[in-house]
A and B are shown apart, each in its own frame.
Chain A
Amino acid sequence: MQHRETARPDGLTFGFLTVVDSPTHGVFGGYLVVDELGRPVEFHCTTPVKVSRAQQILYGPTLHGHLHGRQIGATLLAEGTTQPEIVLTDVESMLQVRPHTSLPVALVQRADADGAAAGFVIGAARVRPHDADASGEAAVRDRLAALGAAVDLCEPFERIRAAIDEAQRH
């Protein structure tokens, strides 16, 4: 799936994509686009997706990749109207969105998190590009430099979770 919109207004933008697993409702997806100072430009969130037992059995270990990457991630990216420099996610299975978008995708984790080794560090965050973008790691690093100087790259995911929490209550 290709990104629907290629408009690029003045200034850089960056996408943050994540999911929130609610035991009662299902899996919500959230996609926040921010400018280089971390301010919100656009936000999209999904209705919850519930997974049945049969689907768990049938998809097995590929379930989350399909659910997060194809069903939720690709749907959200398709709603975007600005083209970010890169899409960051804090959920490894969300990297599966990469085949459905032309945008580079990278995983962000706390630099001191267990098992976080590959990739490069910006501030307190470690960034690991999707394998498809691994050859362009230097380019990804350059794209993130401006944002990383102003914003903790793990922080926008907290905002997405707060907004999804609000949407559930609303």
Chain B
Amino acid sequence: MGDEQLGGRAVVRSVRRPDLALPGVAVMPPVVARLPQPVAVRLPLADVVVRPTRLPLLDVMPRVTSCRFPRAAATAAAPPPSAVTTAPRPGRPPSALDGDAPPAAGPRTRIAPPKDVVKLAERFFYLLQPDLETMLQAGRLEFPRQPFPFQLDGMAFLMPRHGAVLADEMGLGKSMQAISSIRLLVRSGEARRVLVVCPKGLVSNWTRELADWAPELVVAVVEGDPQRRRWQWSLPDVPVKVANYEVLVRDRDLVAELGLAFDLVVLDEAQRIKNRSSQTSQAVRGVTRGRSWALTGTPIENSADDLVGIFEFVAPGHLNDRMTPKAMGTAVADHVLRRTKDKVLKDMPPRLNRDERIELGAEQRETYRRAEEEGVLRLAGMGEEATIRHVFELVLRLKQICNFDTATGESAKLDRLKAELEEVQASGRKALVFSQWVETLGRLREDLGRFGALEYHGGMSTTARDEAIRRFRHDKQHSVLLLSYGAGAVGLNLQFSQYVFLFDRWWNPAVEDQAINRAHRIGAAGAVTVTRFLSVDTIEERIDEVLRRKRNLSDTILSQAEAPAASGMTAEDLFALFRLVPPARLAARPDAAAA
């Protein structure tokens, strides 16, 4: 059997073979199956019109946000590089920022917008600025030395802020950071009139630093008689004016009368305005200004109120004295930048602290004993009439005896100091000696003549003080500089000194730190040894205990931590120095006079 398919018809064909037929078996007739005829299906392909689907998404243009920045001012304030390049000064190594190549790829210091800048366009303005390394290089800004990375961070912090407190530990270059920031703001046209206010003794320091770090800026110092000052205030084309606090207080009406307005006011040693009701604070706050920067290594000397006072200038109303330290820490976080040497200058020479415990000689000890006993008896006898002032007077008298026996002139401290200075002089080093009293400095100078001792204190004219610094810096014959805490603790750069002696102790540890940091600061060539004289078993030891308790207050607020139990010097502290109980009316009152 086989199948065939022909013309679409299937045929089953049977083949009969007689030889295979079996007898008696009927042969069945063949079966023929007929398949149905195929039906043709018409597919109307030719009639279909193809309609492609459109995908329009890529044709939708994105929306664009645009910002344009003031360019004309920037161009006018920043001449092309060739016009501002100045040759390196003789004897000064060129900064690593000098040269024709852009900064190498690597970590860059960028300006971040402050948190209180909320408009996107304004935030873009800061984010789109070149990094500081590029700015400095592109502007061909000459520097006496390469700024440290943390100093660039400080500039990036200051530049975008209208209210800022740079609270770096003393010696980290706050003025240099402020000056470099001023320089860049003037160049970019963001600042045209800048006022720097500083203590009188630091005016020459500021003019020197301005000449070093911003040599192309014209600077005018406002000083002299009223007529001269009026002329200086009125000078129109001077981008930077420097005035001391006293001048500003004296000229506050004149400044208002002249209608002076500054794009930026910088306060150096801004703790000067911690007392909001003081004339200094009011005069400073009365100046019309766009930006307010405060520089201080000790934003909190005694209590959180100090910071509130500074913020009345920096950002009025931002802080109040009802805030807890923790809330205050949170509120100031974006306005305050504080770095300490141990955090940012890992390679800075160490500061070696020594507490020299001095045993008073027999006669000096006897004078001291008698004075304390009499004083305590007098205080105890005053009962409720005793005041903090009475306690202070006794403390001061006892401290003076610890320095020099008022009866015999004997001084165990002086003997020790002479011995120490022998070594300092023999090694060709320099030493700073601090005291609270100008009178003490005078006596020391008489006794330390062979060390070429020079004095530096508020009783001297500015010219005489500058001359003393010059001689101490350059003349090898002068191994010792005698300074008062008041005049010598702030602003001076004496990093070529390797030894600091605190002949007597100040009331406030922050002021002592400022004094020490005249020597222990950037540029220090080696370790700085700090020797604090403490007369054994005297009022000095007891004050030292109180100072140790106070030392942590500043860190508490600036690190947003909880306040320690003891944070200031109270009436109880003062009377307790003599194991006395203060009168009831003074018992609960914190004593601001202890500053």
Which residues of A does B touch, CB under 8 Å? 9-11, 29, 32, 34-52, 54-55, 58-59, 66-67, 71-72, 75-76, 79, 81, 110, 123-124, 148-152, 154-156, 158-160, 162-163, 166-167, 170
A56 to B71 alpha-carbon distance, docked (Å): 41
Q: Are A58 and B55 in contact (CB under 8 A)?
A: yes
Cβ distance A25 to chain B, nearest Cβ, rounded Å: 11
Apart from the given pairs A37-B139, A44-B65, 17 other A-B contacts in the complex at a CB distance below 8 Å: A10-B75, A37-B81, A39-B71, A39-B188, A42-B68, A47-B62, A47-B64, A58-B55, A71-B61, A71-B62, A72-B62, A124-B104, A150-B137, A152-B105, A154-B105, A155-B131, A159-B129
Q: Is B578 an interface residue (CB 8 A)?
A: no
Task: Contacts A167-B120, A170-B123 given; indicate if A155 touches B61 (C-beta within 8 A).
Answer: no
Cβ distance A157 to chain B, nearest Cβ, rounded Å: 12
Cβ distance B118 to chain A, nearest Cβ, rounded Å: 9
| Segment at the interface with A among B95-103, B409-417, B525-533 | B95-103
> B63, B69, B128 — which one has the most chain A CB atoms within 10 A of its CB?
B128
Cβ distance B69 to chain A, nearest Cβ, rounded Å: 5
Cβ distance B45 to chain A, nearest Cβ, rounded Å: 25
Q: Is B507 an interface residue (CB 8 A)?
A: no
In the complex formed, the residue of A with least CB distance to B69 is A40
Q: Mark B66-81, 1 if CB is under 8 A from A, else 0.
A: 1111011011001011
A42 to B125 alpha-carbon distance, docked (Å): 9
- Residue from the list A55, A66, A163 in contact with B124, Cβ < 8 A: A163
Q: Are A152 and B61 in contact (CB under 8 A)?
A: no
**Chain B, 92-129, CB within 8 A of any chain A CB:** 100-105, 108, 110, 120, 123-125, 127-129
In the complex formed, the residue of A with least CB distance to B121 is A43
Cβ distance A50 to chain B, nearest Cβ, rounded Å: 8
Cβ distance B102 to chain A, nearest Cβ, rounded Å: 5
Q: Are B138 and A38 in contact (CB under 8 A)?
A: yes
Task: Contacts A152-B102, A154-B105 given; indicate if A40 touches B129 (C-beta within 8 A).
Answer: yes
Find chain A residues with CB under 8 A from B74 CB: 35, 39
Find chain B residues with CB under 8 A from A123 CB: 101-102
Q: Are A149 and B100 in contact (CB under 8 A)?
A: yes
Q: Is B130 an interface residue (CB 8 A)?
A: yes
Q: Is B377 an interface residue (CB 8 A)?
A: no
Task: Contacts A41-B71, A151-B102 given; indicate if A163 touches B128 (C-beta within 8 A).
Answer: yes
In the complex formed, the residue of B with least CB distance to A70 is B58
Task: Contacts A81-B68, A152-B103, A154-B105 given; indicate if A39 touches B124 (C-beta within 8 A).
Answer: no
Q: Is B57 an interface residue (CB 8 A)?
A: yes
Cβ distance A169 to chain B, nearest Cβ, rounded Å: 10
Find chain B residues with CB under 8 A from A71 CB: 58, 61-62
In the complex formed, the residue of B with least CB distance to A10 is B75
Q: Are B134 and A150 in contact (CB under 8 A)?
A: yes
- Residue from the list A72, A110, A151 in contact with B134, Cβ < 8 A: A151
Cβ distance B127 to chain A, nearest Cβ, rounded Å: 5
A81 to B69 alpha-carbon distance, docked (Å): 12
Q: Are B66 and A38 in contact (CB under 8 A)?
A: no
In the complex formed, the residue of B with least CB distance to A76 is B64
Cβ distance B187 to chain A, nearest Cβ, rounded Å: 9
**Chain B, 445-459, CB within 8 A of any chain A CB:** none
Q: Are A45 and B102 in contact (CB under 8 A)?
A: no
Cβ distance A61 to chain B, nearest Cβ, rounded Å: 15
In the complex formed, the residue of B with least CB distance to A67 is B58
Q: Are A75 and B62 in contact (CB under 8 A)?
A: yes
Q: List 28 A-B contacts (CB under 8 A).
A: A11-B80, A35-B71, A35-B75, A36-B80, A37-B138, A38-B130, A39-B69, A41-B71, A43-B69, A45-B64, A46-B62, A49-B62, A51-B57, A52-B57, A54-B55, A71-B58, A75-B62, A123-B102, A124-B104, A149-B81, A150-B81, A151-B138, A155-B105, A155-B108, A155-B134, A159-B128, A166-B120, A166-B124
Q: Are B67 and A170 in contact (CB under 8 A)?
A: no
Find chain B residues with CB under 8 A from A166 CB: 120, 123-124, 127
A136 to B206 alpha-carbon distance, docked (Å): 52
Q: Are B65 and A45 in contact (CB under 8 A)?
A: yes
**Chain B, 122-152, CB within 8 A of any chain A CB:** 123-125, 127-131, 134-135, 137-139
A149 to B66 alpha-carbon distance, docked (Å): 28
Task: Contacts A150-B137, A166-B123 given; indicate if A59 touches B130 (C-beta within 8 A).
Answer: no
Find chain B residues with CB under 8 A from A160 CB: 128
**Chain B, 230-271, CB within 8 A of any chain A CB:** none
Find chain B residues with CB under 8 A from A42 CB: 66-69
Find chain B residues with CB under 8 A from A38 CB: 130, 134-135, 138
A159 to B131 alpha-carbon distance, docked (Å): 9
Find chain B residues with CB under 8 A from A10 CB: 75
Find chain A residues with CB under 8 A from B65 CB: 44-47, 167
Q: Mark B172-202, 1 if CB is under 8 A from A, else 0.
A: 0000000000000000100000000000000
